[in-house]
Amino acid sequence: MSDQANLTRDEAALRAAQLDVPRTIVHLDLSSDDGSADIRTFRSRSELHVVARTAAPIFVDIVAASIENVTIDGQRLEDPAHAAGRISLPSLAEGPHVIVVEATMEYSRDGRGLHRFVDPTDGLVYLHSQFEPFHALQVFACFDQPDLRTSFEISVDAPAGWVVVSNEPTIDTPADGSAGRWTFAPTPRISTYLAAVIAGAYDAVTDSYDREDGSAVPLRWFVRRSLRAHLEDEELFDLTRAGLTWFESVFGRYPFTKYDQLFVPEFSAGAMENPGAVTFTESYVFRSKVTDGIRERRAETVLHEMAHMWFGDLVTMRWWDDLWLNESFATFMSVLAMSEATRWKDAWVTFLDAEKTWAKFQDQLPSTHPVADEMPDVESVHQNFDGITYAKGASVLRQLVAWVGQDEFLAGCRDYFERHAWGNTTLSDFLGALERTSGRDLSPWRDEWLKTTGVNLLSPVVTLDDDGSYADVTIVQSDPVPLWRTEDHHGILRRHRIAVGVYDRLEGHLERRTRVELDVVGARTSVTELIGQRAGDVLLLNDDDLTFARIELDGASLATVTDHLSEFRDPMPRAQVWSAAWDMLRDATLPATGFVALITKKPRARRGRHPPTSADARLRCGRTVCSTE
């Protein structure tokens, strides 16, 4: 039924110009759920307080099994037109109105709307909502678009033994686990896709995030009862507190009242950033021993959703054209937070090995698309939850941070949140904030990085003097023609802020002696700072992995790493070499025998503090776990 519903960008823009929706009162009656497998429906009542700016016909979004009643300002509509997921309403006079819709809704089994699950272990029922991008209309009547923000007042009638969670704390609950009504405090004005209802026989563990000023944010982790023994609440609370401490230090005060996090069964994605009620896949409830890499992936997901509390929830995109920015920003910030506030200090190495490898692979396929892609309707949005939106977008943001400076980037974020709190924005609003704090004109950067496809190739051309010093080091940038392109290829050369590292072999280790950071612009860029310096054993372009590009190794460097790759103390250049070698192999600039030699060279015993990276074990062209929505 929900597949019939769609909303175009033009329709949403027109409706946003016509209406303001200051208040939405939602009541869900779930009380008839007796745990049986044949329960299919629930009752829903929506009271929409709107202000019409112009007198024009409008429509309300809803997908329902049946609609029992529709009133406007107390006047019942007889046989309201209901088709394709919307109720068509007559023209409203300018000014305030109240629209009430009472309907019977259907539970879902596909993870959209209100999903219902019966635990086969004990027969207990668990519900969770998932509204992004356009599924709130499957639970209550609404104006289901990001820029018609509203304050939700939610109440739920639930059976005995259930708990109900929403975005805000409860202000009234049934006594002693009995059946009754759960009433929640009004939310700030948020987008419809961010409202949340989670209900059922969940168990909860409580804690708090205590600030130095004496205030506190209540924390809870929820899980279904049959998995309670596997909930690692101490580790999860420690991670949550570390994340909130770090994000508040860079973005400002956490903008919501509480911070609940819930593992929900049969979740259709990795996680969802409902403000104050974040939902996660149960695959992160570990039933057996797992690698630390999997724990790192769980931490990235937790911090990804936390970043959304500011970027996405406090300030929300106007339309789904900026979905990439919403997700890329959270991915970038989660890795930055891990590297600075958790025990996973080498999180950027994992990012290179997983996200960036995934992004480069996706960006060289015929299915690639620009990072900032157009979304003419909500059906288009489903196509772009992919490696370009998440992984390439985050990689491009990492380059943007290098281009403007990390301090300037974070200052721009704070300016952006302060200016646009509880509002909707576009990409130009975000880039404008960064331009103010960095002093850089980002229009050329935007056009080169966000509106094009493909991965540039950066190659070193090295000339030595007779004394073994660098006579010239030039970075050659190209945009090779992808094999799948048949039309004339008009390549794009982008601006890159990169580091160039010079490494020496010293006492059995490859140590960085020199690091030069510079802008690469156009086809050829000379690294003048290296001229006259003694040549190193390894010259590494894009050291520290600041930009999104394929890189090549010069012959001397390739020879060194073939014999001594394991001698890098730092895992980042080691992973960079693996990535470069794999790209060179795929581009047919490194013979397969050369790549085999790199793999089969027996490493010496490592004595540094860093463990081998996962790239040392195998090169991955995709990701093993979807870390986000």
Q: List, by residue number, the catalytic residues.
A: 305
Q: Are the C-beta atoms of 248 and 216 separated by less than 8 Å?
A: no
Helix pair angle (427-438, 443-450), 10° resolution: 130
Read off the tokens for 542: 């894009």
Q: Would you state the structure tokens that stand for residue 67, as one six-digit string?
A: 């609609």
CA pair distance 228, 205, nearest whole angstrom: 10
Three-class DSSP category at 451: coil
Residue pair 92/52 in contact (Cβ under 8 Å)? The answer is yes
Rounded CA gap, 576 and 360, in Å? 14
Q: Are residues 331 and 394 in contact, defined by beta-carbon separation less than 8 angstroms?
A: yes
Q: Classify burial at 429, counting beta carbons within 10 Å of its beta carbon; exposed 0-12, middle 13-18, buried 19 or more.
A: middle
Sign of CA dihedral 334, 335, 340, 345: positive
Q: How many CB atoms lie within 10 A of CB 601?
A: 14
Let me know if 244 is exposed, middle or buried by CB neighbors in 10 A (0-12, 13-18, 19+): buried
In Å, how far from its chain's centre is CA 80?
39
For residue 464, what are its two tokens?
A: 């030595």
Contact yes or no for 102/71 (Cβ under 8 A): no
One DSSP character per residue, 358-427 reads HHHHHHTSTT---SS---SBHHHHGGGSSTIIIIIHHHHHHHHHHHH-HHHHHHHHHHHHHHHTTEEE-H
The Cα 121–Cα 119 span in angstroms is 5
Residue 618 CB neighbours (<10 A) = 9
Paired tokens of 50: 């709107």
Distances (CA, A) of 148 to 55, 143, 319: 18, 7, 10
| Residue 230, amino acid | H
What span, in angstroms and rounded, lies between the C-alpha atoms of 499 and 298? 30
